[in-house]
């Protein structure tokens, strides 16, 4: 299999992810880490985006301390607006895990935000069976906090109450696990936290499964290359088999 180059050529205006952000002439990409992680987990992706011609804003938020709505409204949104500045240009996103649900929440609650293209890495877009099975244990709550408990698979779980994305969405998820015990709780191919089938979302533009695990997919060279390609072109690069 031929893997795409890590840094694709810079696009023409017609191919680009949106208009430039008006600050340093580069399109802005907001990076949001997943549950119980930090901006450091997205640093490799942020560096690749900078090298590819984007202005990466790699944000941290206290993912285990508050319900997701509080995280989105009181921590993530103010930092997004500070990164964007005063130019009302499209906001592009790269997210890992629960970071994708934060973006979906913001899109639903703030339709005035000018969303551009979004790439989600291993998102629990239809929840995770791990939460269903372990959410009642005190240790799970202590590690993952109130937002983690909202990521179940039931019809009233937060991911399943959010609608289709009002933005161009590409999803990359993995089918490898470093935690076989958690994988036993998840039917079908999975990355140790999220089933491949539950990463999908109605209305997405493209979907890709790679051999990567949930904790490390954002550091996967192929995932990074395909993320950059989607931000430029609105689709993942077709690969020779």
Q: Which CATH number fits the domain that encloses residue 32?
A: 3.40.50.1820
Q: What's residue 238's pLDDT?
A: 85
Question: In this structure, how many other beta carbons lie within 10 angstroms of the beta carbon of residue 142?
Answer: 10
Residue 186 three-state SS: coil
**Please, what is the Cα angle at 154 between 104 and 73, to 5 degrees?**
30
Residues of the chain with pLDDT below 50 are: 1-22
Residue 13 lies in a domain: no
Residue 21 lies in a domain: no
Q: CA of 81: how far to CAs of 50, 52, 86, 93, 144, in Å? A: 19, 23, 8, 13, 26
Residue 151 structural domain: 28-233
Q: How many domains does the chain have?
A: 1
Cα-to-chain-centroid distance, residue 216: 13
Task: Output the CA torsion sign for 201, 202, 203, 207.
Answer: positive
Residue 241 lies in a domain: no
Q: What's residue 18's pLDDT?
A: 42
Q: What's residue 8's pLDDT?
A: 41
Residue 5 lies in a domain: no
Q: What is the pTM of this model?
A: 0.89
Residue 47 lies in a domain: yes
Q: What's residue 86's pLDDT?
A: 65
No. of helices (H) and no. of strands (E), the chain: 10, 6
Residue 6 lies in a domain: no
Task: Output the CA torsion sign for 44, 188, 205, 4.
Answer: positive
Residue 15 lies in a domain: no
Residue 10 lies in a domain: no
> Dmax of the chain from CA atoms?
52
Return d(Cα 75, Cα 73) in angstroms, integer.
6
Helices (H), 85-161: 98-109, 129-134, 138-149, 158-161
């Amino acid at each position: 299999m031929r893997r795409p180059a890590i840094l694709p050529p810079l696009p023409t205006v017609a191919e680009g992810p949106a208009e430039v952000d008006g600050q340093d002439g580069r399109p802005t990409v907001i990076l949001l880490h997943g549950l119980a992680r930090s901006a450091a987990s997205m640093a490799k992706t942020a560096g690749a985006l900078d090298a590819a011609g984007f202005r990466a804003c790699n944000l941290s938020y206290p993912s285990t301390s508050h319900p997701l709505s509080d995280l989105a409204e009181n921590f993530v949104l103010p930092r997004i607006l500070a990164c964007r500045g005063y130019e009302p240009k499209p906001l592009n996103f790269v997210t890992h895990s629960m970071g994708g649900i934060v973006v979906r929440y913001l899109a639903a609650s703030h339709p005035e935000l000018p969303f551009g293209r979004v790439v989600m890495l291993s998102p629990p877009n239809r929840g995770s069976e791990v939460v269903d099975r372990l959410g009642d244990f005190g240790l799970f709550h202590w590690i993952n906090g109130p937002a983690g408990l909202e990521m179940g698979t039931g019809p009233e779980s937060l991911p399943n109450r959010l609608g289709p994305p009002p933005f161009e969405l590409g999803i990359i998820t993995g089918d490898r696990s470093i935690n076989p015990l958690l994988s036993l709780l998840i039917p079908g191919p999975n990355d140790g936290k999220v089933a491949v089938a539950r990463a999908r979302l109605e209305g997405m533009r493209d979907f890709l499964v790679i051999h990567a695990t949930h904790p490390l997919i954002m550091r996967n060279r192929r995932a990074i290359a395909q993320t950059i390609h989607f931000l430029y072109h609105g689709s993942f690069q077709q690969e020779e088999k």
